[in-house]
Structure 1
Amino acid sequence: MWTEKVGKQLGRPTRSVAGWLVSKLFTVRNQVLEENAVQLCGIQPGDTVLELGHGPGLGLQSAAKLLTEPTGRLIGVDYSDYMHQMAKERMKELLVGGKVTLHHCDVAAMPLGGNTVDKVFHCNCYYFWPDLRKGATEIHRVMKPGGLMVTTLRLSHVATLAAKRVMPGENWRPEAYMAALKDSGFTDVRMEDKQHKHLTFQAIFATALK
């Protein structure tokens, strides 16, 4: 029972003691993965960039610093209202200025136009999607031809959580997500080991083919 509750909070934190603890965990454990996902995207100053499952907004902060041209835009989506509100507070100045837009929504149903996004990144996110194919198809829809998607994870930690049944099913497996990306029209889908100081993590890359 407790593993199911933990899994639900990891996937969709609520405004509660458990949700608060998860937000602190995201802040401490995800920062390196978030920052590296941003760097691996190769964001250009005038890009339109999308973060999926933005959590408390650490990745949004990193990406926003790179969008230095007036045309640069940053979009975030998260289906946890608690995380949405936390990110709104963190990014409030850029939200007022129109540089950043945040949506409280499901990745599989984003209120974005097709072929509008240059780069997409996310961190510790896809394993909580109920339907990987729907999520991947929606990401492909909003991306411009040739756009790059990057996600980062620590596979050893994810596998440990899955073994404890914190994450139900098999969606956590990188090969399941990579298959969904390929089926949805992405090309050059691959996973690479990366190193940040003493930390080893994995990055999945995919290019939108249209």
Structure 2
Amino acid sequence: MSDLPPNHHADLRHSGPSGYISGLTMIVGRGNDARLVADLADLQPGDHVLDIGCGPGTAVRNAARAGIRVTGIDPSEPMLREARLLTRLRRPAGEVEWAQAGVEDLPLPDASVRVCWSLASVHHWPDLEAGLTEVRRVMTAGGVFLALERRSPVGATGTASHGWTADQAAAFAHMLTEHGFVSTDVSNHDMGRRKVVVVTGRT
């Protein structure tokens, strides 16, 4: 059993030149992640989606292509610069907004989004308690929150450790219930060589 918390890489920040490099690596191969969470969320016309830790904006643009309004937030300015540039080059149909912010201080009103997701980001959140309190605050009743992470084996090191073990995913699901989510689910998905786990919470 892993004794590391779900945010076991909370001290890693993407800033400066390394932020731009990290953003570029996130552009390739993340389309499947974006399509998966959009399918699981069952996006509806009129939805407002919040993408926490949006990086270069792959999932934001994917949802916005269906005409959905999407807000992408990220604490890293280099990530947001790449997201804005790529969105200008591939302008989607829906309304897209960007904000530099962390999960512990979301720049949105109470009960303003039905769908919220965080892709390969929760393991970097500095404060899970504060983050989940904010996520629950901005979500409407009947909403859905999805946290997607790469499946990591116990004891993994280096880049292989940037994800969740089964225990870490289960621990995060338990935290969702403690923060007012009425139901939770943990599901594994294989997308070719990329294997991910999605923790879903409903309000």
Q: 1:157: Cα distance to partner? A: 6.5
For residues 124 and 16 of structure 2, what CA distance do their matches in structure 1 show?
Answer: 18
> What does 1:194-209 correspond to in 2, within 5 Å?
194-197=189-192, 199-208=194-203
> What does 1:133-144 correspond to in 2, within 5 Å?
133-144=129-140
2:14 counterpart residue number: 13
For 2:105, which of 103, 109, 121 is the aligned residue? 109
Q: 1:165: Cα distance to partner? A: 7.4
1:78 counterpart residue number: 74
1:174 counterpart residue number: 169
TM-score by length of 1: 0.79
Cα 1:80–1:163 change in 2 (3 A) is: closer
Q: 1:146: Cα distance to partner? A: 0.9
Identity of matched residues, %: 24
Q: Where is the helix percentage greater, Structure 1 or Structure 2?
A: 1
Cα 1:125–1:94 change in 2 (3 A) is: same
> What does 1:26-45 correspond to in 2, within 5 Å?
26-45=26-45
Q: 1:53: Cα distance to partner? A: 0.4
Q: Cα RMSD between the aligned structures?
A: 3.2
Q: 1:15: Cα distance to partner? A: 2.8
CA contact (8 A) 2:65 2:94 kept: no
For 1:100, which of 73, 96, 99 is the aligned residue? 96
Cα 1:194–1:166 change in 2 (3 A) is: closer
TM-score by length of 2: 0.81
> What does 1:121-200 correspond to in 2, within 5 Å?
121-156=117-152, 160-161=156-157, 173-197=168-192, 199-200=194-195
Structure 1 counterpart of 2:199, which letter?
I
1:64 counterpart residue number: 64
Q: Give the 3-state SS of the residue equivalent to 1:90 in structure 2.
A: helix
Q: 1:21: Cα distance to partner? A: 2.8
Q: Aligned residue pairs: how many? A: 194
Cα 1:164–1:53 change in 2 (3 A) is: closer
Does 2:116 align with 1:120? yes
Q: Give the 3-state SS of the residue equivalent to 2:44 in structure 1.
A: coil
Structure 1 counterpart of 2:53, which letter?
G
Cα 1:158–1:49 change in 2 (3 A) is: farther
CA contact (8 A) 1:54 1:60 kept: yes
Cα 1:139–1:19 change in 2 (3 A) is: same
Could you list the structure 1 runs, at least 4 aligned residues long, displaced by more than 6 angstroms after superposition: 7-10, 162-167
CA contact (8 A) 1:149 1:207 kept: yes
Q: 1:64: Cα distance to partner? A: 0.4
CA contact (8 A) 2:66 2:94 kept: no
Cα 1:93–1:44 change in 2 (3 A) is: farther
